[in-house]
Chain A
Amino acid sequence: MGKVIVITSGKGGVGKTTATANIGTALAKLDKKVVVVDADIGLRNLDVVLGLENRIVYDIVDVVEGVCKLRQALIKDKKHPGLHLLPAAQTKDKNAIALKQMKGLIDELKERFDYVVIDCPAGIEQGFKNAIVGADEAIVVSTPEISAVRDADRIIGLLEASEISDPKLIINRLRYDMVKRGDMMNTEDMIDILAIDLIGVVPDDENIVISTNRGEPVVNQEQSFAGTSFRNIARRINGEEVPFEEFKIENGLVDRLKSFFKINSN
């Protein structure tokens, strides 16, 4: 019996889909059988981020409507044999699936996979309700912005009301240099407000943009900071104790020159 994890945030654009793709891939790298489910019907993205868009023939709505079998709709990843995608429909909307149908589907997936990772749509309407209905655990993604934190707080409340207790927090797109200058909320501020456990901090990393556009998750790049963070998050999900990574602020060349001159001027 697998574990169902929903990745949610409330606010759009904070990195739910990127997180889902990377955590799913990283779990598959740990030799787990993983299915990532795109619950964002009508605005699907997960297939594009994973580079699997051109393989979609059937989607989640076809499965619940009985047009095809579940097996036919699952798309195998290009690189990781353990990773599968259940794509969303693009030509339907969020009301195309009822709660009962979604629950049944997730329960079926749970039987076959070690991890079912669900990419939740933004918002708190039907799509959100569908995405969390079968979930055992939740991961809330937030960026260090007041609006994202506000929405994350609302989501945590809704998750608790749906009896998905103890959600975990991913702080995405943190810029250590800005935090250091005091221009960005830091990790402690956010945990202070949200009062949930942190499962990972992902630094702002331009590799994410590059890898997203290529359709290849950043966890495949060994040296990327964001990739390392996501790999560690996956290990934590998998029950390992992994210390939180300290990315020494690898300042750009400018900063390094600055510090160089600072030392010299002293």
Chain B
Amino acid sequence: MTNQSLIEFKGTKDGLVIKVKENQDFQNIKSALIAHFEKAGSFFKGANLLDIECPYINEEERLALKTIVMEKYDLNFKEVTEDFKPEIFQGLKEGMTKFHSGTLRSGQVLSYEGNLVVFGDVNPGAVVKAYGNIIVLGSLRGIAHAGANGNLDAIVSAHVLNPTQLRIGDIIARSPDEKLPDSVNPEVAKVKNQSVYVESNYNKGKKKGEK
């Protein structure tokens, strides 16, 4: 008895990822995986295996699965090397931008490797994450993480900026425990001296000299 839908194969540009979708015990996972390869015949022979994604097994069992797949079915295992570090996103003034329309509700996550504009609200429990700036044309009440891969110049701005938590780069700020009145004007959050500051989007006239 094996469950075929337990296993999913995902092709990426670097190689194959095997995904185990359900929480089953190791023997079931193993037999399902073998059944899959038996069915596929020599289709996977010589393919690059990137990873076996399964949160339900321990490292030892993962290794056992990898060994089976590599030795029995002739796959090459390609270790994802840690020194592959994505470059810090630099397109804050001009760069890749995603536009998302629709409200993000609790439990939803929207992330993008560039700037992010949301037409809608971000509700508590939702997360927006971008390597660049985050602009919310609506109310931001959830968690926003701008400059997610390290750019501390990234900003978060919203019509109503009332987030549960603001993260810019590796700096985390949380909302005050006392309820503050919502601001009438759009606000922008940015990092100064390693902390997150929120200011109005408008009173910029005097500060023109600053960068």
Contact residues of A with B, CB < 8 Å? 42-44, 51, 53-57, 64-65, 78, 90-91, 95-98, 101, 126
Contacts and interface: CB of A to CB of B under 8 A. Distances in A.
A96 B175 contact: no
A173 to B, nearest CB: 25
Contacts of A51: 177
A78 B174 CA distance: 14
Give the one of A65, A90, A95, A96 with max B CB within 10 A. Answer: A90
Given A90-B106, A91-B127, A98-B56, A57 B23 contact: no
B164 interface: yes
The SS class assigned to the A binding surface is loop
B46 interface: no
The SS class assigned to the B binding surface is loop
B107 interface: yes
Nearest to B55: A65
Contact of A126 (B23, B108, B109, B164): B23
Instruction: For chain B, give the interface size range.
Output: 10 to 19
Interface string B5-32: 0000000000000000011000000000
A64 B57 CA distance: 11
B98 to A, nearest CB: 18
B175 A54 contact: yes
A55 B173 CA distance: 9
A227 to B, nearest CB: 20
Given A95-B22, A96-B55, A98-B56, A53 B124 contact: yes
Nearest to B174: A54
Nearest to B57: A98
B23 A91 contact: no
A91 to B, nearest CB: 5
A65 to B, nearest CB: 6
Contacts of B124: 53
A55 B174 contact: yes
Given A53-B164, A91-B109, 9 more contacts: A42-B107, A43-B107, A54-B164, A90-B125, A91-B107, A91-B108, A95-B23, A96-B55, A98-B55
